[in-house]
A and B are shown apart, each in its own frame.
Chain A
């Protein structure tokens, strides 16, 4: 009985968060295609040595907070090493709003073999990037 109650409580929560993620990823995909695809390409593969990959990127998963801040506030400047390759370029400020940053991050973090166990929310992006 207790088990059934647990299922009844947990399952809708699970469903709800699934659909939240899906709809965020759907928005994120159109943002990605408009703002990111030109450099990082359609499967997040990037261009070796020029535009770092997002698919299975060790740098991205080690630096999720920094990546969110970079997408919101104006890119990554300076050398980074992604999957053993050095990248010297920079990403400019795309002018995305916090909800758009959340959506595109959810899309990137859960596509092309990527898998992230949390949903990035607009509030979280705001919290990370609010001006001090």
Chain B
């Protein structure tokens, strides 16, 4: 008991002492100044040699995993079962089978949503597609395309593809700028560089921001994005939060607000990966500032909110995969400011998807390694 109080005091101290607005690191600094978490272990749930791009939980014992090259399997009690009926995928650069999301009432309606690159060389390339199907007896049936980005392009970059539901069964999803940043992100009559919002049947919510704009794509909810590949619903506020791959030094965290322009590529904190300038502007009127930008870039691969009580001191913080540095980053936010950053599981692999399971534990899909569970170390009183 005495030990517990001591521990509690310790955590309170940590939280208090770090409650300041964290500025992005200088380019010269590397990531090593991030605090390294130690009070956990990474427990392998199952091994897999593929790139698992997303995981979802049917229940505590059943994990669905979507493999980028175009397959889905279910992992249950040591057994992997292939899910049949997965649509044909356009495997191209960063594109392939991307995210899976279960309907909030999945246990009643069996609806599963999948995002993927569809298309072919003959069709002029591909673009991001969102479909809904029913998962019945390990098979996707009644597949219906709900949204398809246009036009097709052979470009291999910036498919976006992350999806999440809000509290009113709206589905939010991202499509990246598809390698055409000069045209797509700032034009609401074009796809790409957007966060979209649709109803669970694919129809357009009548309070979407651009429903009365005759030129606009009505599914658009926000624009001026580069390549958002992390998204969660904040369970406390209901808000949709995203992180996005920016240019070099310009990865961002944003809270997605209706009709807002997030500025890409008119404003950014980053530069081209070749080292040349994109724009001199970091701020412009009518364009939202990011909640945070990463310098140096971490290449954020997913975004999850910790709402469970499993991890002492971690509740209410956020996790993002750092593809370039190969760790999971924990991000503490207070009053919409990043106040804390630490790293978890450094060197284990490229973390592609992070999800809190129904048991409250955090699960991480590491590319070509498999799925791990973050387990807090038990503190044993003497």
> Chain A interface (Cβ within 8 Å of chain B)?
34-35, 37-38, 41-42, 77, 90, 92-95, 97
Instruction: Kindly identify which residue among A37, A90, A93 contacts B69, using a CB–CB cutoff of 8 Å.
Output: A93
B91 in complex: contacting residue of A38, A41, A90, A93, CB < 8 Å: A93
In the assembled complex, B100 has its CB within 8 A of some CB on chain A: no
Tell me if B91 and A95 are in contact (CB < 8 A): yes
28 sample A-B contacts, Cβ–Cβ < 8 Å, listed by A number: A34-B155, A34-B156, A34-B157, A34-B179, A35-B93, A35-B156, A37-B273, A38-B157, A38-B273, A41-B273, A41-B274, A42-B273, A42-B275, A77-B368, A90-B368, A92-B51, A92-B68, A93-B69, A93-B91, A94-B92, A94-B93, A94-B156, A95-B90, A95-B91, A95-B93, A95-B96, A95-B156, A97-B121
Contacts of A77 in B (CB 8 A): 368
Complex interface: chain A residues within 8 A of B51 (CB): 92
Report the Cα distance A89→B368, complex, angstroms.
10
A37 contact set on B, CB distance < 8 A: 273-274
A29 to chain B, nearest CB (A): 13
Judge if B332 is at the interface, Cβ distance under 8 Å.
no
How near does chain B come to A44, taking the closest CB pair, in angstroms?
Answer: 12
- Residues from chain B with Cβ under 8 Å of A41 in the complex: 273-274
> Which size class do B's interface residues fall under?
10 to 19
A23 CB to closest chain B CB, in angstroms?
18
Q: Does B270 contact A (CB under 8 A)?
A: no
Q: Which 5 A-B pairs have the closest CB atoms?
A: A95-B92, A95-B91, A42-B274, A35-B156, A34-B156
| 1/0 contact string of B89-125 vs chain A (CB within 8 Å) | 0111101100000000000000000000000010000
The A-contacting residues of B in range 351-382, CB under 8 angstroms, are 368
With a cutoff of 8 Å between Cβ atoms, the chain A residues found around residue B95 in the complex are: 95
**A132-B148 Cα distance, complex, nearest whole Å:** 36
User: Which residues from chain A contact B273 at a C-beta distance below 8 Å?
Assistant: 37-38, 41-42
On chain A, the residues within 8 Å of B90 by CB distance are 95
- List residues of chain A with CB within 8 A of the CB of B179: 34
Known: A34-B93, A93-B69, A95-B91. 15 other contacts (CB 8 A): A34-B156, A34-B179, A35-B93, A35-B156, A38-B157, A41-B273, A41-B274, A77-B368, A90-B368, A93-B91, A94-B92, A94-B93, A95-B92, A95-B95, A95-B156
Residue of B nearest to A77 (CB): B368
B90, chain A: closest CB distance, angstroms: 7
With the chains together, A38 CA to B157 CA distance in Å?
10
Chain A residues lying within 8 Å of B92, measured Cβ to Cβ, are 94-95
Q: How far is the CB of A120 from chain B (nearest CB, A)?
A: 20
What is the 8 Å Cβ interface bit string for chain B, positions 319-346, against chain A (1 contact, 0 not)? 0000000000000000000000000000
State how many angstroms separate the Cβ of B51 from the closest Cβ of chain A.
6
B200-219 vs A: 1/0 string, CB under 8 Å? Answer: 00000000000000000000
**Least CB distance, A129 to chain B, in whole angstroms:** 15
> Once the chains are docked, how many angstroms separate the CA of A93 from the CA of B274?
23
Query: How far is it, in angstroms, between the C-alpha of A95 and the C-alpha of B368 when the chains are bound?
Result: 18
A47 to B, closest residue via Cβ: B324
